Amino acid sequence: MKQPLNHNTASVIRCVPSDAAIAIFLALFLFGVYLLTFSGRITSSDGLSMFAVTESAMKRGDVSTDQMWTFFGTKSAPAPDGEAYSKYGYGAALLAAPLYALALRVPTFGLMALPVLASAIAIAAAGAFVYLAARRLEFSIAVSLAAALLFGLATPAWTYAKEFWSEPFALATLFAAFYFLLRYRATWKTRDVLFAGILLGLAIATRTTNILLAPLYALYAFAEIDLSARGNSPLRIRWRAVGIFLFPILLCALSILFYNYIRFQNPFTTGYRADEDFSNNILLGAYGLLFSPGKGLFVYAPFLAALPFGIWRFSKTHRRELFFVLALAICYLLLFSAWYYWWGGTNWAARFLVPTLPFLVLLCAPFLKLLIEAPPQVSRFALYALRFVFALLVALSFVNALAGVGVHALTYRLALLKNFPNADWDAIFQPALSPLIGHWRIFKPTNLEFAWLRVNANGAQVDWIALALSFGIVLFALYLLARATRGARMSRAALWSGIVLTILLTLAVMSRYPDDPRLGGNEGYKKLLATIQREALAQDVLILNDDAQARYFFNTNRASLKWYGLSRDPARWDAPTQALVTRLGQEYARVWFVYDDAVAAPNPMRDWLAENWAQARRMAFEDGVTLVLYAPR
């Protein structure tokens, strides 16, 4: 087993001075690509639930998700106070909060669009850490850069860089924590242990099941086995470092318990329902996540076929790191293979295995070294054959990733449902219906998921300014990256100038996306929200009578008052909903009620309010959008 390094060892691994610059410019390049393929909207219910926490926390200091009360109430266990709460960790909501705060203060940014960029930032940063980790493991700049680019552009990570799921944040924090522990074992600097603990704590706050990995991280970094010890225990543990590492993790664990108590009055209740459990057939789940036509990780990223060779080489040179990566990957595979919802819903590839991607790609580095820096004894024919086959696998992986980036998984699912009632299951197990094929069948402008492309009845509209600025970031970062890899010395001023210019260009791009017609809304809703922002008081409450418009409100509503999104379906005017509305009338002196007449159907909620509450004001806008101010008390 590889022995720990110390300060006096001549072979201490140190990154060359240009590595920091290469990592930074690599992250900027990947971010530029992700901005170029950016969508700017959240379509998944999971993402909306986590985003609702961000909005509630930043506007009002609470953690409710009442913005889609009817829908979210069915996804989570009921809360004692009657509010709706997210069952997911607070990590994603926390990491998106700075961007939401900026969007809230600058009207040119969409409140939903800008925070979604947090996923792109997380994946781009993870790409930089893949490069740095490979360098720490003594791979060359070329091999390390190739591994990072494969991770960023030839795996499902690219697709998740444009989605607001927990996976991008879990991926980035888990791998960054590993990198700092890897660096700690080379330098024994305590600050690296602290950084690793903070990052792993954030990973646990993002996805609570990551707490199962804490012992694995600790064993990797702080446990030494001395088989030559006589009369003493062969296991030696660096307890001081363990304490520093576990301290931020303990704080995060306590914060999660407190977060649970705030929501459900029980620190051990997360919000998952009793029927959500680990009852699936593990063999079925493992096959589906690894090899099925519609979800299999090795099908979506076939270049991972290089893993056996990488595992063999790691077993000779970096055995400790190999055991860690394999244990982490197996833990993730077994855990989510047993999960009742192992396929993860409407999404791209094996969603639950996405956090393992940087670790798996790192294990491919020895194969990349063989192709790029082949030893003299390898025959030229065999080398060229290997390069050709691997290039084909990489190209296929890139094309697969591009299919997921270009067309949203929900778009394909809706198209499939027209002819296949059991579309979800068929798309996983029937090769002909796999999204890898189906996305290319519907790959046309009306289905493309890019923020700079808007398609309506009048045709396709391209925001050429946003497109040019996005391309500018890619080319600028690529130029800086090329200079850094050629060994050009980069001053701190040059590094910061590159970062600042990228930020400014990004903000300029994002200012082009303040609204999105795909989120709903119309001129009537736009004027209604302007009225709410101007006249509503913070102690008021708003009821949106059609939660299908909730996405528009998420992106556009800048008022700080609490609001509830309730279903427009007359059948959902049930006892729980009536109890909620009655309670709101008792707790608030003023209630704003929003509805529209776009759907010609009975509206029992509107009729009940008109009959039971005193109307103080009524305003009508375009397209039948109506705002009524009630004074129920």
Contact at 8 Å (CB) between 364 and 329? no
Instruction: Give yes or no for residue 212 having a pLDDT over 50.
Output: yes
Tell me the percentage of the chain whose pLDDT exceeds 90: 85
Q: What pLDDT score does 516 carry?
A: 87
Question: How remote is the C-alpha of 439 from its chain's centroid?
Answer: 21
Contact at 8 Å (CB) between 159 and 173? no
What are 80's two structure tokens? 């004692």
Q: What pLDDT score does 587 carry?
A: 95
If you write DSSP's letter for every residue of 22-58 in order, what string do you get?
A: HHHHHHHHHHHHHHHT------SHHHHHHHHHHHHHH
Query: Among 12-16, 56-60, 75-79, 558-562, which stretch is predicted with the lowest mean pLDDT?
Result: 12-16
Residue 320: partners with Cβ closer than 8 Å, 6 or more residues away: 1, 2, 220
Look-up: residue for tokens 């993402």? 47
pLDDT digits (tens, 9 = 90+) for 317-328: 999 999 999 999
Confidence band of 460 (pLDDT split at 50, 70, 90): confident
User: Which whole number is the average pLDDT over 104-108?
Assistant: 95
Contact at 8 Å (CB) between 259 and 90? yes
What are 338's two structure tokens? 């047993």
Instruction: Give yes or no for residue 12 having a pLDDT over 70.
Output: no
For residues 149 and 282, what is the distance between their CA atoms, to the nearest angstrom? 32
For residues 619 and 131, what is the distance between their CA atoms, to the nearest angstrom? 58
458 or 165, which is more confident: 165
CA quadruple 474, 478, 480, 484: dihedral, nearest 10:
150
Total Cβ atoms within 10 A of residue 211: 17
Phi and psi (nearest 5°) for 399?
-60, -40
Confidence band of 229 (pLDDT split at 50, 70, 90): low
Tell me the percentage of the chain whose pLDDT exceeds 70: 96
Q: What pLDDT score does 231 carry?
A: 57
Contact at 8 Å (CB) between 154 and 397? yes
With CA atoms as reference, report the closest residue to 63 among 41, 45, 87, 44. 87
145 exposure class (CB count in 10 Å sphere: 0-12, 13-18, 19+): buried
User: Which whole number is the average pLDDT over 477-481?
Assistant: 95
Confidence band of 422 (pLDDT split at 50, 70, 90): very high
Look-up: residue for tokens 């001053």? 491
Instruction: Give yes or no for residue 192 having a pLDDT over 70.
Output: yes
Instruction: Give yes or no for residue 15 having a pLDDT over 70.
Output: no
User: Which whole number is the average pLDDT over 440-469?
Assistant: 90
Confidence band of 230 (pLDDT split at 50, 70, 90): low
Instruction: Give yes or no for residue 600 having a pLDDT over 90.
Output: no
Total Cβ atoms within 10 A of residue 286: 18
Task: Report CA-CA distances (Å) from 122 to 163, 197, 339, 449.
Answer: 11, 18, 26, 20
Instruction: Give yes or no for residue 7 having a pLDDT over 50.
Output: no
175 exposure class (CB count in 10 Å sphere: 0-12, 13-18, 19+): buried
Instruction: Give yes or no for residue 201 having a pLDDT over 60.
Output: yes
Burial 590-612, CB ≥16 within 10 A → b, else e: bbbbbbbeeeeeebebbeebeee
User: Which whole number is the average pLDDT over 186-199?
Assistant: 96
Q: What pLDDT score does 5 carry?
A: 44
Instruction: Give yes or no for residue 423 having a pLDDT over 80.
Output: yes
pLDDT digits (tens, 9 = 90+) for 284-304: 999 999 999 999 999 999 999
Q: What pLDDT score does 495 carry?
A: 86
User: Which whole number is the average pLDDT over 501-510?
Assistant: 96
Q: Show the CA angle centred on residue 345, arms to residues 344 and 350, nearest 5°.
A: 45
Instruction: Give yes or no for residue 30 having a pLDDT over 50.
Output: yes
Q: What pLDDT score does 457 carry?
A: 67
Query: Among 189-193, 417-421, 436-440, 492-496, which stretch is predicted with the lowest mean pLDDT?
Result: 492-496
Strands (E) located in 227-277:
235-237
Q: What pLDDT score does 454 carry?
A: 87
Confidence band of 601 (pLDDT split at 50, 70, 90): confident
Contact at 8 Å (CB) between 288 and 282? no
- Under DSSP, the state recorded for 613 is S
Query: Among 21-35, 99-113, 204-218, 480-494, which stretch is predicted with the lowest mean pLDDT?
Result: 480-494
Confidence band of 73 (pLDDT split at 50, 70, 90): confident
Confidence band of 227 (pLDDT split at 50, 70, 90): low
Look-up: residue for tokens 């590159």? 498
User: Which whole number is the average pLDDT over 226-231?
Assistant: 60
- DSSP bridge partners of 544: 565, 594
